[in-house]
Amino acid sequence: MIRSLFYLLIVLMGLCLSPYLIGNTGYVYIAAWDYQIETSVVFASLLLILFYAVLYLAESAFIKGLSLLLGSRYLPQKWRNKAAKKHTLQGALALAEEDWPQAEKAMLKGAANGELPALNLLAAARAAHQQGKPETRDTLLDQVDPQHGDSVKLAKARYLLQQGELAQARILLDKFNPSSRSKPAIIRLAKELYLAQQDWQALKLLLPAITKQKLLDEQQLTQLSNRINLSLLTDAVAHSEQELDKCWHWLSRQERSSSELMSQYALGLHAFGRHEDAIKWLSKALKKDHPEPAFVVLPKIVTVDDTEVIKLLQQLSSGWADDSDYLQSLAKVQLLLRENKAARDTLEKLCQLHPTREHWSAFAHAQEQLGDTHGAFLSYKKAATCID
């Protein structure tokens, strides 16, 4: 805007001064060597303006030509970079379509002159892994710039896990020392690898990191925690009584209040001959809001003399009369007490609620004990034709 006003001011001044200039043109005299030039001021001014314009055009043409001459030396490299971008795009599209051979080929073509060669090599390695070419995959990973070493190790550990090479994957993973400060990808890989190796102690130590980074929702986290604790108790039983007690006290107070863990601990105590302690923990498990795990464990350890826990089981009939685990547990206890008629009635209800080959066979056996051979024959026939 200011420049336009300036040009307008010059034009107006020219219009105002032109009459005076025409009336008094003046002259310019130039003498150089043997040459003499004499002309008017107006014509000299026009020559100066024309000279400046020609000089400006010549300068612009010279600079442009020089730039073109220098830039031509790098034209082949520009072409290669442009081709690398094209191949990288083709490789990315092939990865999205899971066209692994095309993805590997395109990504390799774009790696040499691409802006991010590490990205191309990692993508090509993934495509090679999907094609079942571990040697090619490892060769490509080794070509990645060492500054991206952590990403390469993580990718290789994941591929080894998927390949079933758990020991080698564990060696690479241990270099990251997974903890709450580790990246989510490392924690997630550690969880999958520890589960595959059934390393429950390592998983137990990893649980705080999984919880902190919210890698699982509350239900999934609870299921994983219960699975870990049950497996730890089972492994401890196979080891020694001291290991069982150590494992139990390693659990938090909240975990020890779980009916499922109480029942498993009771089963372990029974295995080491501590029957009274087992019955005590089993009674606590039956008093919980969700005593279903205790229904499964109780027939394995209860005896005729355990009247208290048997009464506790019978008192739950009002709330769990339609639960198949409860009915099955109650029937086994009734058979243990030689209450054959009560066991038959319980098994009959169990077969109506959950008809399986096992339940029909148990019902038929109870009928045989009571002399009902015809009913037992029909029940065995149903058991033979039952599809679980």
More confident residue, 7 or 205: 205
| pLDDT value of residue 21 | 57
Q: What Rg, from alpha-carbon coordinates, does the chain have? A: 44
Average pLDDT, the chain: 84
Instruction: Give the Cα separation of 122 and 143 in Å (integer).
Output: 9
Q: Which residue's structure tokens are 């795009």?
A: 89
Q: Which of 49-53, 118-122, 143-147, 230-234 is least confident?
A: 49-53
pLDDT greater than 80 at residue 148: yes
Is the whole model's pTM more than 0.75, yes or no?
no
Q: What is the pLDDT of residue 71?
A: 56
Specify the pLDDT at position 197. Answer: 93
Q: Which residues of 275-295 are buried (b: 16+ CB within 10 A; e: fewer)?
A: beebbbbbbbbbebeebbbbb
Query: Residue 261: what pLDDT?
Result: 92
Can you give the pLDDT at residue 59? 86
Residue 38, beta-bridge partner list: 29
pLDDT at 28 over 80: no
Q: What is the pLDDT of residue 159?
A: 93
Mean pLDDT of 97-102: 90
Query: Confidence class of residue 15 from pLDDT cuts 50, 70 and 90?
Result: low
Q: How much of the chain exceeds pLDDT 90, in percent?
A: 29
Confidence of residue 26 (pLDDT cuts 50, 70, 90): low
> pLDDT tens across 165-217, in order?
999 999 999 999 998 888 999 999 999 999 999 999 999 999 999 999 888 89
Return the HEC string of the chain.
CHHHHHHHHHHHHHHHHHHHHHHCCCCEEEEECCEEEEECHHHHHHHHHHHHHHHHHHHHHHHHHHHHHHHHHHHHHHHHHHHHHHHHHHHHHHHHCCCHHHHHHHHHHHHCCCCCHHHHHHHHHHHHHHCCCHHHHHHHHHCCCHHHHHHHHHHHHHHHHHHCCHHHHHHHHHCCCCCCCCCHHHHHHHHHHHHHHCCHHHHHHHHHHHHHCCCCCHHHHHHHHHHHHHHHHHHHHHHCHHHHHHHHHHCCHHHHCCHHHHHHHHHHHHHCCCHHHHHHHHHHHHCCCCCHHHHHHHHHHCCCCCHHHHHHHHHCHHHHCCCHHHHHHHHHHHHHCCCHHHHHHHHHHHHHHCCCHHHHHHHHHHHHHCCCHHHHHHHHHHHHHCCC
For residue 98, give both structure tokens.
């899971």
Query: What pLDDT is stored for residue 232 in this prediction?
Result: 92
| Distance in angstroms (rounded) separating the CA atoms of residues 232 and 199 | 9
pLDDT digits (tens, 9 = 90+) for 313-351: 888 888 888 888 888 898 888 888 888 888 888 888 888
- Convert the pLDDT of each residue in 50-92 to its tens digit: 777 788 888 888 888 777 665 555 557 677 777 778 888 888 8
